[in-house]
Amino acid sequence: MPEENPQQEEKKQKGGIIRTYEGDISDAVRFKKASIAGIAVAEQKRREANEEIGIPEKEKENYFQKFLNKKTLIIAGSILLFVIAIIIIVLSLTGSKDTADVKILPTQKEIIFSNETKNIDITGLNKKTFVSKILEERRLNTSQLGSITNILITTKTDGIIKIPTTGELLNLLEIKLPDSLFKYLDNEFMFGVHSVRNIEPFLILKTSSFENAFTGMLAWEKNMENDLGFIFIESPNKNKTADENNVWLTTDSGTTMSESFINIKKTFEDVVIRNKDTRVLNDAKGNSKLMYLFPDRNTILITTNQYTVAEVLDRLIRVKFSQ
């Protein structure tokens, strides 16, 4: 067999190297009866042959951009939202142990607007311990001048926190009102303190009968300083504890009263404050210690000074205009 010269051999090799995809497939199908796997092999051989003669391969597709198509974004967003929801649920469940002991106070519709609210739980308390807590609140209160603090009184029964009625509050304080007054008092009340020169207390009661309530208040005057004096007339010393402030004495008649009551007159006098008829109990020096008035026919205000009267009247007017 004659030998092929080098030029012919080189030409044959080059001719064998340059192949086409269509040709490879045609050959594979015709001569090898190839399956799809055979076609894939032919494609790989074609790529290797093209690389040998320096034919550049097609530029690779940007798979990242292809991945971030609209449908993929929707799926990814849905997965992200689902994961966030799971995290929130897990955190809320694991955090419930920490918040289980948080006291949730009942909602109270305030008779007047208050700047802040303090809670006193009276569950299991007697009159003396309750009064001590009130005096402690007055002693420690550091509210801004002119502000009103609502003292939210609550009780707890079988794990349920509620606001006591007016009658329950009076029973705790061992106060027995004239029937003409007690029968016509609503369950709604508000006890608070007003920051003036001192921290002064006030009590707002609601009534359904002005005539009966007015008669009952007049009848209550002879006992009012003994019934309310521990809270209203007692001026707590900020340098003493509640127990040190709460000095309890017993009179000859057996009535328990505070040392600061001794110099108080026993009769109320008529005065006018902010165009309202007011009944005032003064001490021997003429200083007011206790007073009450009817801001309107359904409201009774009991406090210690004219500044608190003026502030409560202003706030009652605001409530009326806001309704």
Question: What are the b/e assignments for 149-186, b being 16+ CB within 10 Å?
Answer: bbbbbbbeeeeeeebbebeebbebeebebbebbbebbe
Domain range for 45 = 6-52
Total domains in the fold of the chain? 3
Same domain, 231 and 316: yes
288 occurs within a structural domain: yes
Same domain, 46 and 133: no
- State in Å, rounded, how far the first CA of the chain is from the last one: 120
286: left (phi over 0), alpha (psi -120 to 50) or beta: left
Q: Indicate if 129 and 253 belong to the same structural domain.
A: yes
Q: Are 150 and 224 found together in one domain? A: yes
Whether 291 is covered by a domain: the verdict is yes
Q: Is the pTM of this model over 0.75?
A: no
- Residues 80 and 222 reside in one and the same domain: no
Within-domain flag for 33: yes
150 and 217 both lie in a single domain: yes
Block means of pLDDT (10 residues each) for the chain, length 323 residues? Answer: 52 51 58 56 63 49 56 76 81 52 60 93 93 90 93 90 94 94 95 93 97 97 91 62 44 44 71 96 87 97 96 94 79
Same domain, 31 and 122: no
Whether residue 283 sits in one domain with residue 169: yes
